[in-house]
Amino acid sequence: MIAKVADDDLLVVESGFFKEQFRVTPQKLKKLLKTLMKKEFPRSRKIRLYVLERFSEDEALNPKRKIL
């Protein structure tokens, strides 16, 4: 999950095989996502992204998953 905290501050929550949180600038987001994708999805080339509504940091730890 990626949340915009401020103009130059993004919160990235990894909630899969590993559970971590990262705070990065928008310029460093691409490199972080490439690293996380290799860790979480080692054999996949495609991922699905979708937009969620507003949330608090407490909700970021237990996100509600969208049903497709």
Tokens found for residue 29 = 């987001």
Reported confidence tier of residue 61, pLDDT bands at 50, 70, 90: low
Contact 39, 28 (CB under 8 A): no
Contact 49, 36 (CB under 8 A): no
pTM higher than 0.75, yes or no? Answer: no
How many residues does this entry show for the chain?
A: 68
Percent of the chain with pLDDT over 90: 21
More confident residue, 5 or 29: 29
SS3 15: strand
Q: How far is CA 5 from CA 30, 39, 50, 54, in A?
A: 17, 24, 18, 11
Give the torsion through C-alpha atoms of 43, 38, 47, 12, to 10 deg. Answer: 160
